[in-house]
Chain A
Amino acid sequence: MESQEEKPIIYTMENKPIVTCAGDQGLFTSLYTPLAQQLPREPMEWRRTYGRAPKMIHLEANFVQFKEELLPKEGNKALLTFPFLHIYWTDCCDTEAYKGSVKEDMMRWQNSLRAHGSADWVIVVVETNDAKKKNKTNILPRSSIVDKIRNDFCNKQNDRCVVLSDPLKDSSRSQESWSSFLLKLRTLLLMSFTKNLGRFEDDMRTLREKRTQPGWSFCEYFMVQEELAFVFEMLQQFEDALVQYDELDALFTQYVLNFGAGDGANWLGSFCAPVRSWSGLLLRRPIDMEKRDGIQHGEASLLDLRSYLFSRQCTLLIFLQRPWEVTQRALELLHNCVQELHLLEVSVLEGALDCWVFLSCLEVLHRIEGCCDQAQLAANCSHTVGLWAYATDKLKSLGELCGLVSDKGPTSEDLNRTVDLLAGLGDERPETANSLQSPYKKLKEALSSVEAFERHYLELSHAAMEMYRAIGRLRSARLVGKSLAEFYMRKGDPERAEAFLQEALKSYVSEGWSLPVTHTRKQIAECQKLLGRTEDYLQTSALLAGDVNLSSEERKHFCQEILTFASKSTDKSQKVILSMGAFAQLTRLQFHPATASVHSGADLQVELSLQSLMPVSVCVQQLAASIHFSLEHGGTHGRSKGTQKQTNIGTVDFSQGNLSACPLSSSAAGPSLELDEIQDRSPSDNSLNSTGMVCKNTHLVMRRHDSSSSPDTPNCVSPPTVALDDGAHMLKVQDITLEPGSNSVVFTAPSGDPGTYTLRQLCATVGQVQFVLPHIYPLVQYEVYSQEPLLTVEPLSEPLLAGLPQMVKFTLLTGHYTVKKGDALQLSNTETMPIMPSTSCTASIRNTAADLVGESLLSIQSSEKVTSISLPPTPPYHTLEFQLEVLCIIPSGSDRPANERLTNGEVRHRPRSYSHPDTPMTAIDQRMSIDCPWSIYSTLLALTFYIPFKTKHSLLSAGNRKYIQVCVQNVSDVNFQLVDVKLTEKQHASLELHSLNTKAQQLVCSKQSVFCLWEVRWKADLPSCLQCVFSANFSPLNQDISAFKPFHYHFQLERVTTLYSVQAEILPAAGEQHCRSGALCGLEVCITRLTEPGENEMGEESKADSDGLKTTKLMYEVADSSSNWAVCGKSSGMVSMPMLANATHKVQIEVMPLFAGHLPFPKIKVLKYLPHTAAPAIQPDPDSCVENDSLSLLDKTLDDQGDTASIRSRGSVHSVGSGEQQQRGLAMPRLEPFSPGQVFNHSHARQVLVLPATDDHIMEVNAT
């Protein structure tokens, strides 16, 4: 103990483990230099106890001469002065000498070691060749000395005796010897460390376990563990050394916490003493002996202990090249100390801790700056900036405490406080006395005067801010800036303060932090008021007045500020223009009527919903909305229509973030796309030219977003200067009171000129102040249109049926035209569609909202050409409706009168019937021409009527008798009644048409047909051509007789007379009763001429035969389409018929029935054969269908009865390929069919019984 007190070996950097040397001092001295050099050259692996990781360690040693006093006494815990190894040096090679003196000396050395319980020793025997040579004669083998020593001392520990050969020679043997010696030395040293440190640690742990016992002192324990730390440090094991301090730190912290929890230890009392010194950390010395002594003697305060601990940790961390951990730990330490003092309820002079923290921060920063270069420092701002900011903070609070911030300067009380604080700093440390920038000097200077304080404070603030900016911590930088602004405000420099505040506000607004926004804005308001920036101040006041974060008193105050200014009657006509966003919000706009589209001159009201944000009701002298007017044109018409469709009709809701709680995500995410449909219509006929999509708010969407403040947000930092546009059109309301909350204001919108009116701005005037909403968004428009009168006619019911009176509706949209008394519509009459006179025809007048306004009777006057409808007086933009009954007369056939001119000179358009794709009914378009009073041009309107019937006729013959059948098919959806069905012939009076119809009245249901039949009777001659008229009266079912309307059907029948009769007979084979299938039968065809030839027939198709008799050539053909018959032999042939009545021609043909049963007769066709000579002269009747059916006969040899089989085959070939023209041009012979009535087939549809062929099949039936 004494020795330690005499010379405290504490400068650990220079310390090395102590190794004592006994024995031959001269020998050791000669070997000291190479030994000291070579020992640390190679590392050794140090295996640790308690599972700690092994370490490579470079060993060094402090070789001292062995003295008994060096050996530690019992109970001495000092480790630094502990000799870890004892070496005995000898170069004795003489047995005698060994026995005489050396052995004894060794014994003594060993005994003293043993007395102190030290087992860490080694005996080094140095051999030199010189010695060998010198004692060449009388020496024992050298090994014997070593053996002796080993025998004597190294009881089973042969490694405790080392031989070092020729240490001063430069030979390989000496090298080898050295290295093995050093290895041994190192091993032994490490063993000693392990053993002794292990023992020490065990003791230390035991001591620590006693900490709950009364009387245990932390300070004592501190010293013990620190000893261990010193040793580790001595061994360059800084990591381990740091662990020791960290353990001490944690232990102490735990005690403080326990104290806080009520579990106080006695020894803590010394740390609870009032703090008298706050001189800050001292990091320039490796060990602060002053403080260490204080701890050792239990006199240290908490701050002293913490300071000392941290300075040691700091030293070790810097050894470990971890300066950034120092800064981090420093900040933790400072915070912790403040908390601990608070927890231990240590009384501290106000401001003293601030001083301590400030000094400490700067000290740490200086220390770090001392061991790093500038580039490193700049790169690691993030680690130091916290300390800078903390120091800034502390200096500020010191300044406030000492009255250095106010513009008046410190009071005497402040000065006293300053003096007290400075006293606690003590004297400057000698280490920093020469430095100009020491923390001590800085603090002293800063506290000395207002100016110096300001300089230092600004320097620190700006440094902290720049660092924050450099590492991207903008919010922190702004917070420092805000604090700086508060300082400037105190100093009465609002101008500088405002800049910082605005920047901070911008960030809060953009990120939607309402409470900081309110607070900062309040500060800004103060600045602006001081600066006299009225407009800005009023704007900020407006924002504050509407800020729900403030109390209602504050809001009222700011509101009053505005109202006071507004009511000031200044001579200056200039008004202050403020953004409306802060004052009131436009929440909704409604149009009445909702379509927002009125005709010119009509009433249009606009209702605004304004959300007043002011805390009190405000009188607004004028609320005006300026309007932009644009002339309507085709393109915009479609667009505005699109807008109306998209939005809720007539109502525009303005979505704006609530002013108070404003997480304006929209401002971050950008405005949503506003898409609109545009249609470009052609101006002439309103047909669609093109259509597309437009984005209406590209200017908002495409805007750069990096400028964080969007001026549209109500929280804008500095509201944009709003330009009042002074449009010619304004919506105005005078003198209204806006209550807090929702208000409804109704404007009457101007609707003079047709066009599109866009609401642009809203402006509320309160005295000298105008609140302006610069843009109303989304776009609000209304339309004023001017419309041409429009007359439409449409059927009352679809479809319109021709032939029956039908109601049509006339609709007149008056547009801008006023129908005056006496105005009339002039309808040109057409006989195909007369207008039915009706007595009571009422016109109804409706307004745009489709409400009935009036009704009046129409007077209709018909003259020959014109029907005049006089209209009742109707105001503009009304609808006049009336109904008229019209009848479309069904066109009845082929008679086509010549074109007539209408009254207006136009060519009458004949109603033309055509088949409509949608209905089976034939449609007729009926045009109407109407002269209207508002136009010099006639209005042409078309109505489509449908004919409800389809009519067909056919001629039926029975021998010479003739019948006419008419089929009336009802194709409409209505059921009709037919009466008075008649058929008349126009030209032949002698002709009698005998009706075979039994019913006078016939029902024709929808989609059904009615057949009517007449027999034709004649007296002299049957005319070959008949002009028939079918007529009937019809009416829809269940209507009275007056409703019957006539229906006519004209048709013509030609070649009515029967010329030939064909009679066929099938004769069974000879000897058979009946025909049998498979057996040939005879078919006898008998063609008989029935009438004398007519004149035209003579000329046309006959030629004189050689005998002078006129004959006609006929071709017959037997064809069986149903394959019942096989025609054997020729199936067709030519006959020459004399043109005489009753001339007969018989043809025999063999046919074979193929089946049994009642078989229909094979079909027999008779055709006219026109020889080639006749052909060019005679053009075939266009109505006949000769060309299609005729066979071309190419072979001239076929004049007579040729091979018809070949004719047919050729004909079929040519009928496909050859055209008719060619046929005619070549004057080919042709075949021409007869008209349906001209040939009468008696055997048509006759049947003959055919028996099966003789059954020659045997059927076997086997029964088993």
Chain B
Amino acid sequence: MAVCIAVIAKENYPLYIRSVPTQNELKFHYTVHTSLDVVEEKISAVGKAMADQRELYLGLLYPTEDYKVYGYVTNSKVKFVIVVDSSNTSLRDNEIRSMFRKLHNSFTDVMCNPFYNPGDPIQSKAFDGIVSGMMVQPS
């Protein structure tokens, strides 16, 4: 399960960012922000290859000693970043993918809300619930 989940706008500002050990929030912000480097690198690399049939899932962006950072980018260039604890070895690539898919679906719902102004921070309870379900439960 994830320790941090972030949704980042096309312009690279955070739309939503939540992490589980709240005392480490700052560190996750830095981590997610830095991961944008790799996201951009991957998007531009893929963009050259094939623009239309793009795989949204970007895979492991970069590992650190403590965390693994995975990326996903929607067609509208909104980025999802999931940070997973490195010690959590039970998570397979497929599970990460399905997490992203779930996140994307929920994000789509948020965007469909006529009262949501695209570009604003996400404050949807439904989205929050989906994210909570994917996060490590603080014990």
Instruction: State the A residues within 8 Å of B (CB).
Output: 257, 260, 331-332, 334-335, 338-339, 342-343, 382, 386, 390, 468, 471-476, 479, 508, 511-513, 515-516, 519, 661, 663-665, 668-669
Contact = CB atoms under 8 A, between A and B. Distances in A.
B26 A664 contact: no
7 cross-chain pairs, A with B, having the tightest CB-CB distances, nearest first: A512-B13, A473-B37, A663-B13, A668-B11, A515-B29, A511-B12, A475-B37
B130 to A, nearest CB: 21
B70 to A, nearest CB: 15
B87 A663 contact: no
A332 B63 contact: yes
B120 to A, nearest CB: 7
A664 B29 CA distance: 17
Q: In the complex, which of the residues B13, B38, B87 has the most CB atoms of chain A within 10 Å of its own CB atom?
A: B13
B119 interface: yes
A508 B66 CA distance: 23
B64 interface: yes
Dominant SS among interface residues on chain A: helix
Given A511-B13, A661-B121, A663-B121, A339 B86 contact: yes
Given A511-B12, A663-B121, A665-B11, A331 B63 contact: yes
Contacts of A665: 9, 11, 13, 119
Contact of A335 (B14, B41, B63, B120): B63
A737 B56 CA distance: 54
Given A474-B37, A511-B33, A335 B86 contact: yes
Contacts, number: 77
B86 A513 contact: no
A668 B8 CA distance: 14
A516 B87 contact: no
A476 B37 contact: yes
Contact of A475 (B36, B89, B121): B36
Interface string B25-42: 110011001101110110
A513 B33 contact: yes
A343 B119 CA distance: 42
Nearest to A257: B89
Contacts of B57: none
B65 interface: yes
Nearest to B38: A473
Contacts of A468: 37
A343 B29 CA distance: 26
A339 B87 contact: yes
B62 interface: yes
Contacts of A474: 37
Counting contact residues on chain B (CB < 8 A from A), the size range is 20 to 34
B4 to A, nearest CB: 12
A663 B36 contact: no
A554 B33 CA distance: 25
Nearest to A478: B34
A664 B121 CA distance: 11
Contacts of A343: 87
Nearest to A513: B33
Contacts of A668: 11, 13
Contacts of B14: 512-513, 663
Given A473-B37, A479-B34, A663-B9, A516 B26 contact: yes
B12 A260 contact: no
Given A332-B63, A386-B62, A663 B15 contact: yes
Contacts of A473: 37-38, 41
A472 B86 CA distance: 26
A156 B92 CA distance: 55
Given A332-B63, A343-B87, A472-B41, A513 B13 contact: yes
A619 B37 CA distance: 45
B30 A479 contact: yes
B64 A516 contact: no
25 contacts: A339-B65, A339-B86, A339-B87, A386-B62, A390-B65, A468-B37, A471-B41, A472-B41, A473-B37, A473-B41, A475-B33, A475-B37, A511-B33, A511-B36, A512-B11, A513-B13, A513-B14, A513-B33, A515-B26, A516-B26, A516-B29, A663-B120, A665-B13, A665-B119, A669-B11
A663 B119 CA distance: 8
Contacts of B119: 663, 665
A513 B121 CA distance: 12
A519 B25 CA distance: 11
Nearest to A393: B65
Contacts of B64: 335
B63 A342 contact: no
B29 A513 contact: yes
Contacts of A515: 25-26, 29
Contacts of B37: 468, 472-476
A335 B68 CA distance: 10
Contacts of B11: 511-512, 663, 665, 668-669
Contacts of A516: 26, 29-30, 33
